[in-house]
């Protein structure tokens, strides 16, 4: 394993130190327990948006902390949900008196740890709500599974609800908007290569030279099926079709298209794929109103990509367009 | 082993050793059907537990409460809250009782199982730690008339068998459920770690 | 070779299509010859800044086109300098009457092709100047080599000079500022893995599992020496020391620190390395005034990183901080 | 082969075939001490040249001028402007002459070399295409008294030898110079392609 690290057990802490050094104007970091929070927290009178999850998906979530997006992020060990202490510390730190919305990706570990923290916070009389995002259509959503995973849609959700919170939405309004976004967003991913978790030291799974894994999650867990590698045109279709069929999206819909790199895919390939996705959507009569292209919800160095499609309305677009100033997303500020 | 707080502390020390020794095995199991962190998560948790054991408390319940909160705040993932809840419920059940008895151990194990199920909503057959803990509680209950050591041995044996029995199952809870049919043919890491912990406790009690 | 492409020979064109679709508000793309230019070009009365180079270094240069940075970028084939036609087309397209500054990375191919285009433009009476950036300390700079390569420093140069041009600098002033930046910036890179050029289909070089290549360029060309893989602490020192010794940088200097990913390095590692570099600079009494961390000057999917240190003054900081609105860098606009 | 425009066009067609056939070899050479694109660059260029040959012009000079501008606008990299300049200077030297002669070929080759040196500033021994072209011009000059075919054969032989002789050299120009001592032991791709092109012209002229 060749990684730019000193010791697998200190990767997250050391990386947070670098994040803090790089973006001192935007965020601050505390350790034990680890929390990334807005430099100007708490924002008094504003609903606080808190998220988090395992590390290794950078820039999510620490890179989304700042004006117009998250008030705090709780980074767990690599690919491991954070602990309730972290979430509690985050809540305490950023609570500005207008309530706290926890944005949780649907993984058993994330849900349980955030739930525990929310119980503690509620016991202290804080108004804490939780929304769980589960946008990954690769996973069967049934009573007999852990349900869909939260993947790329999380970035869009955090931007939109973060914008609304900054714009003065109440906790009720933030929660309602978040639920609408969750109901309107779907994703699907593919891995060309596996990633290597530092404390494991070997790739999470093994793909042959001509094999790709469809329906990959963001934790190095294997996907739904292995297929031979295919041209980009076909690959983008393979990802897009289950997304469109699921919601479903149909002609006349207005969408935000998010073409996400799993981390190790060159931008030249990602834009190529994005161009194909745009064309396929246009062919179906779907209007792409906004787009995001880049490595935002990653799996360490994994090569691969995901597509996320969000059916937007004017309210969502308004908060998507609203100023944001974070390490990873920045406009209008 | 004594059945007082010191005995429980000693049992936890050997549990920590077992976790350390089986870290790679648990990582490998979790890599196959999960995300590969289970062994590392538990190792991190039990290393933290070790550092808290010296002044953990005067009763078995007090010690287990420290274990619970330490695991909750250091393990993360699904296993953190689940094992944390298990130890917390067991601690609550033991209350301030100064010494474990066979029947209090049975009750504590049952409370732990109830806690895990309450948090994780898994049923037997979902391919989770519940598949190890459920038969463990039943076996412990059958052995309730004997000693603490006998109860724990029965529980550990049953948990080991329960863990083995997860191999053919298709996961319906936790990260392995994303794999669908492909999760069959692998032992559930959480069931395995449950069996390992109970074995460590049983060995310490013998 | 597993890449998200259809055909090696159409990668660049198809990728440009996706770039245009993703950022229609910022840039436009023309093909035959391929040029990426500002959506609002030509900016009348403003000095136009034009750059370019082989593709495969994305977001450089196309992702730097927009307000406050480049007026146009000329993307060559992957790792191949663009042709003079492209540069001529770019010049014609963005010339706003105040002259054109060509920012060229020091590679024989880039220099010759831009030079040819500049000759044509001069023959048509346009005021075209060329600056050549050569910030890579890994390469011996002597009469008997092609000289140092242009690498990470290019991004900083383009931002600063682009800001100044937007702020009303004359061509003389832009050129002088560019030369000062070039004189004050140094870089050094390392590869943990090689990259695979689409039309080659195999890695550019082969590194063993525990080997890294120090002094790597950005074209998949091998570096200066192979050494065993080392902890991040040592690796960052290995990169930083030759940089600091070269200019030299010394106690009391104010710098901009750019920690760049070669493309495939996870952000969690990059921030970790950045944190170490910040500490090492502080230890030397050097003040980091600004920083940039991310994959900006890449080599396809190569894992590795480079450090760039620019000795700044108030004038450079002013134009670094000035508003920029491009696909890759955006603030204040 | 005739020595008029049609003959030159025919020679260029076989040159394009040779480039295509040796594309991978040139890529491999350039991967070893450069960035691996030389074969692809030339292939792209000569494919474009092929599409322009039909109405390229009535004189050898006119045809070579089209080749020059096509290479300049499609090859890129170092080789694009260098080969472009070489063909441009050769074309200029041939002027409107309707047929090549042994001595005009010698002059055209010399002009090509001068152009490459003027653009690239490389000297003999720098491990570039100059190391193939310089001995080629000298050999051509020695054969100036013979036929066009003889001149080109002499040039090609010398270029081939010159290319071989680049193997031990340490590069001092172009991308290979970044490698320092590590560039020794490999043939320069541009010297090799120069030798290949001259060989193709010589074969076409025979
Ligand atoms: N809902 C659940 N109920 C009971 N046990 C569960 C549940 N979900 C997961 N587990 C257990 O947790 C184990 C995985 O733990 P771990 O790898 O530490 O967490 P994560 O899955 O978050 O990476 C599984 O092997 C399984 O035994
Ligand atoms: N300054 C120079 N003078 C003469 N020939 C050169 C010079 N620099 C490079 N070359 C030639 O160009 C060849 C490389 O061409 P190519 O690979 O197409 O371009 P690039 O180096 O830009 O990738 C080298 O093998 C060498 O023969
Ligand atoms: Mg996990
Ligand atoms: Mg796990
Ligand atoms: Mg090249
Ligand atoms: Mg080359």
Any D CB within 8 A of C112 CB? yes
Q: Residue D1 has what pLDDT?
A: 67
pLDDT tens-digit readout, A196-230: 999 999 888 889 999 999 999 888 777 778 999 99
In the block, residue with structure tokens 């054109």: C100
Q: Residue A204 has what pLDDT?
A: 83
Beta strands in chain A (DSSP E): 27-30, 35-38, 48-55, 72-78, 100-105, 128-133, 185-191, 211-214, 225-228, 254-261, 287-294, 304-311, 324-325, 330-331
> Sorting pLDDT into bands at 50, 70 and 90, what band is B1?
low
Taking 90 as the threshold, does the pLDDT of residue D182 lie above it? no
Q: How far is the CA of C132 from the centre of ligand 6 (A)?
A: 19
Taking 90 as the threshold, does the pLDDT of residue D100 lie above it? yes
∠ CA A316-A318-A323, nearest 5°, is 120
For chain C, domain boundaries = 15-183, 185-317
Distance in Å, alpha carbon of A104 to nearest chain B alpha carbon:
13
Q: Is the CB of D24 under 6 A from ligand 2?
A: no
CB D86 within 8 A of CB D193: no
> Sorting pLDDT into bands at 50, 70 and 90, what band is D54?
very high
Alpha-carbon distances, residue D82 vs A319, B139, B178, D78, D120 (angstroms): 54, 84, 57, 6, 7
Cα torsion B174, B179, B184, B186: sign: negative
Cα torsion D172, D178, D181, D182: sign: negative
ipTM summary value:
0.95
Name the 3-class secondary structure at A56. Answer: coil
- d(C-alpha C308, C-alpha C152), whole Å: 6
> Sorting pLDDT into bands at 50, 70 and 90, what band is D2?
confident
Taking 80 as the threshold, does the pLDDT of residue A144 lie above it? no
Please state which CATH number belongs to domain B5-205: 1.25.40.340
Residues in chain C within 8 Å Cβ distance of A305: 4
| B36/A83 touch (CB, cutoff 8 Å), yes or no | no
For chain A, the average pLDDT equals 96
CB D45 within 8 A of CB D197: no
CATH architecture of C185-317: 2-Layer Sandwich (3.30)
Q: Is the CB of B8 under 6 A from ligand 1?
A: no
Taking 70 as the threshold, does the pLDDT of residue D9 lie above it? yes
C15-183 CATH choice from 3.40.50.1110, 3.40.50.10440, 3.40.50.720, 3.40.50.300: 3.40.50.10440
pLDDT tens-digit readout, A39-85: 999 999 999 999 999 999 999 999 999 999 999 999 999 999 999 99
Taking 90 as the threshold, does the pLDDT of residue B190 lie above it? yes
| D178/C139 touch (CB, cutoff 8 Å), yes or no | yes
- Segment D11-33 shows an average pLDDT of 96
∠ CA C57-C63-C65, nearest 5°, is 125
Nearest to A274 among C18, C59, C265 (CB): C18
Q: How far is the CA of B175 from the centre of ligand 1 (A)?
A: 7
Name the 3-class secondary structure at C297. Answer: coil
Q: Closest ligand 2 atom to the C-alpha of D116? A: 4
Question: Concatenated DSSP letters for A85-134?
Answer: HHHHHHHHHH--SS-EEEEEES-HHHHHHHHHHHHHHHHTT--EEEEEE-
Task: Tell me whether residue A93 is one of the annotated catalytic residues.
Answer: no
> Sorting pLDDT into bands at 50, 70 and 90, what band is B134?
very high
| A112/B74 touch (CB, cutoff 8 Å), yes or no | no
Q: Is the CB of B30 under 6 A from ligand 1?
A: yes
- d(C-alpha B20, C-alpha B50), whole Å: 11
CB A288 within 8 A of CB A296: no
Tokens for C100? 């054109």
Q: Is the CB of B162 under 6 A from ligand 1?
A: no
Q: How far is the CA of C13 from the centre of ligand 2 (A)?
A: 25
For chain D, the average pLDDT equals 96
Q: Which of B19, B38, B89 to mutate to test the pocket of ligand 1 (most atoms within 8 A of CB)?
A: B38
For chain D, domain boundaries = 5-205
| A263/C263 touch (CB, cutoff 8 Å), yes or no | no
Taking 70 as the threshold, does the pLDDT of residue B9 lie above it? yes
pLDDT tens-digit readout, B140-169: 999 999 999 999 999 999 999 999 999 999
Q: Is the CB of B34 under 6 A from ligand 1?
A: yes
Average pLDDT, consecutive stretches of 10 residues, N- to C-terminus, chain C (333 residues): 96 98 98 96 96 98 98 97 97 97 97 95 94 93 82 98 98 98 98 94 89 90 86 98 97 98 98 98 98 98 98 98 98 93
Q: Residue B96 has what pLDDT?
A: 95
Q: Residue A111 has what pLDDT?
A: 97
Residues in chain D within 8 Å Cβ distance of C205: 31
- d(C-alpha D149, C-alpha C142), whole Å: 42
CB A329 within 8 A of CB A65: no
At the fourth CATH level, which superfamily is domain A25-180?
A: Dihydroxyacetone kinase; domain 1 (3.40.50.10440)
Q: Residue C140 has what pLDDT?
A: 77
From B178, which residue of chain A is nearest by alpha-carbon distance? A139
Task: Tell me whether residue A57 is one of the annotated catalytic residues.
Answer: yes
Q: How far is the CA of D176 from the centre of ligand 2 (A)?
A: 8
Taking 80 as the threshold, does the pLDDT of residue A114 lie above it? yes
Distance in Å, alpha carbon of A224 to nearest chain B alpha carbon:
6
Q: Which of C80, C108, C146 to mutate to test the pocket of ligand 2 (most atoms within 8 A of CB)?
A: C108
| A268/C12 touch (CB, cutoff 8 Å), yes or no | yes
Nearest to A275 among C2, C17, C233 (CB): C17
Task: Establish whether the linkage from the previous residue to C59 is cis, with ω within 30° of 0.
Answer: yes
Taking 90 as the threshold, does the pLDDT of residue A285 lie above it? yes
pLDDT tens-digit readout, B102-117: 999 999 999 999 999 9
Q: Is the CB of D35 under 6 A from ligand 2?
A: yes
- d(C-alpha B75, C-alpha A193), whole Å: 28
pLDDT tens-digit readout, A160-170: 999 999 999 99
Residues in chain D within 8 Å Cβ distance of C140: 180
């Amino acid at each position: 394993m060749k990684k730019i690290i000193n010791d697998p057990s200190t990767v997250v802490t050391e990386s947070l130190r670098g994040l803090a050094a790089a973006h001192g104007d935007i965020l601050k970091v505390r350790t034990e327990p680890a929390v990334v929070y807005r430099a100007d927290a708490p924002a008094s009178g504003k609903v606080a948006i808190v998220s988090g999850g395992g590390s290794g998906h950078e820039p999510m979530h620490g890179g989304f902390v700042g004006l117009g997006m998250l008030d705090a992020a709780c980074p767990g060990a690599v690919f491991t949900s954070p602990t309730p202490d972290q979430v509690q510390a985050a809540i305490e730190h950023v609570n500005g008196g207008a309530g706290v919305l926890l944005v949780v990706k649907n993984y058993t570990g994330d849900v349980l740890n955030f739930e525990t923290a929310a119980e503690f916070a509620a016991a202290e009389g804080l108004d804490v709500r939780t929304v769980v995002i589960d946008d990954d259509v690769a996973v069967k959503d049934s009573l007999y599974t852990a349900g869909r995973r939260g993947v790329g849609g999380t970035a869009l959700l955090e931007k939109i609800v973060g914008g609304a919170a900054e714009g003065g939405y109440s906790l009720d309004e933030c929660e309602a908007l978040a639920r609408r976004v969750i109901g309107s967003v779907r994703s699907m991913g593919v891995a060309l290569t596996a990633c290597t978790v530092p404390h494991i030291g070997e790739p999470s799974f093994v793909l042959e030279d001509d094999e790709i894994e469809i329906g990959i999650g963001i934790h190095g867990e294997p996907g739904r099926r292995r297929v031979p590698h295919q041209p980009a045109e076909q690959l983008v279709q393979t990802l897009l079709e289950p997304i469109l069929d699921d919601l479903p999206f149909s002609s006349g819909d207005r969408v935000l298209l998010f073409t996400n790199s799993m981390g190790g895919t060159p931008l030249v390939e990602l834009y190529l794929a994005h161009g194909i996705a745009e064309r396929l959507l246009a062919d179906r009569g779907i209007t792409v109103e906004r787009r995001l292209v880049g490595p935002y919800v990653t799996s360490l160095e994994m090569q691969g990509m995901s597509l996320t499609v969000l059916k937007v309305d004017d309210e969502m677009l308004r908060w998507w367009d609203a100023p944001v100033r974070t390490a990873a997303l920045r406009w209008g500020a | 082993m004594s059945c007082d707080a010191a005995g429980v502390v000693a049992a936890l020390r050997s549990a920590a050793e077992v976790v350390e020794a089986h870290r790679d095995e648990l990582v490998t199991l979790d890599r196959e059907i999960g995300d590969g962190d289970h062994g590392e998560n538990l190792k991190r948790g039990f290393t933290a537990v070790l550092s808290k054991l010296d002044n953990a408390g005067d009763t078995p319940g007090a010690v287990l409460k420290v274990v619970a909160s330490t695991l909750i705040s250091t393990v993360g993932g699904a296993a953190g809250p689940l094992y944390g809840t298990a130890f917390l419920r067991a601690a609550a059940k033991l209350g301030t009782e100064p010494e474990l008895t066979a029947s209090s151990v049975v009750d504590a194990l049952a409370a732990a199982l109830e806690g895990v199920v309450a948090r994780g909503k898994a049923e037997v057959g979902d391919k989770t730690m519940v598949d190890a803990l459920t038969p463990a509680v039943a076996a412990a209950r059958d052995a309730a008339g004997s000693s603490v050591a006998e109860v724990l041995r029965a529980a550990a044996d049953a948990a080991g068998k329960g863990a083995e029995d997860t191999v053919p199952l298709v996961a319906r809870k936790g990260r392995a459920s994303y794999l669908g049919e492909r999760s069959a043919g692998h032992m559930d890491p959480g069931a395995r770690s449950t069996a390992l912990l109970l074995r460590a406790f049983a060995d310490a009690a013998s």
